[in-house]
Amino acid sequence: MRLCLCLLIIGMSVVTPSIADTIHLKSGTVIEGTIIREIPNASVAIETAQGKVFTYNMHDVLKIDRRPSPPVPTVPPLPTIRKDPTLSGLLSAIIPGSGQIYNNQYLKGGGFFLATIIGAGTTLNTVYWQKTDGLRVVKGKRVQLIGAGLMTAIIYTVGITDAVAWSKMINTVNEQDTKKRPSIGINNTPHGWLATLSVQF
């Protein structure tokens, strides 16, 4: 459903005589205004600045001088916010949670960051450095190491995937919202510029 609102721009509603259409009759009469209707080889109707409409037979018309078409004002399109899925995924790969922050999901980004840090810390906590044997797993904590490492890897991977998916979803939603944004049309009429605001809901 579309709701259309028409606004007449008062500042442009005055017809300027110097650029008005002009009809020259064979009798010598000159009429200035805006041609509102013309039937080839039949008749022509012109509306004057005072709002009067005159219709003449084309056999009585010597010539018609038409005013140049004024430039149509352009309305710049509203900007559409887009997210780069590749960039969001890369950010999450470098710093867990930063892809979500790029998508303006600050709490989720903080959650992924903390979860990854805790998982990594738990994994490293099961490993220690021993000068004689080098890096080895503390006896009895192998299951904890595998579980913590696997969980950390899953959280890290899900964070990257989530950032990419949400970037694509945000772009899709914004494109749909753009189609529903108010559209503005500006047309020239015999009474001036007519601005039309169309809203879809």
| Structural domains present in the chain | 21-66 (2.30.30), 85-180 (no CATH)
DSSP state of 12: G
Token duo for residue 124:
């490293």
Q: Packing angle between helix 106-125 and helix 142-180, nearest 10 degrees?
A: 170
Within 10 angstroms of residue 70's Cβ, the number of other Cβ atoms is: 11
Tell me the pTM: 0.48
Distance (Å, rounded) from C-alpha 167 to C-alpha 181?
A: 21
Token duo for residue 110:
């903080």
Q: Are strands 21-25 and 183-189 parallel, antiparallel or unpaired?
A: unpaired
pLDDT along the chain (201 residues), means of 10: 42 44 88 87 87 88 79 61 89 93 92 90 66 49 74 91 91 73 55 53 52
Tell me what pLDDT residue 7 has: 42
Identify the sign of the CA torsion 51, 52, 58, 59.
Answer: negative
Tell me what pLDDT residue 18 has: 44
Q: Are strands 53-57 and 2-8 parallel, antiparallel or unpaired?
A: unpaired
Calculate the dihedral angle through the C-alpha atoms of 75, 81, 87, 88, rounding to the nearest 10 degrees: 180
Q: Is-contact 22 32, C-beta < 8 A?
A: yes
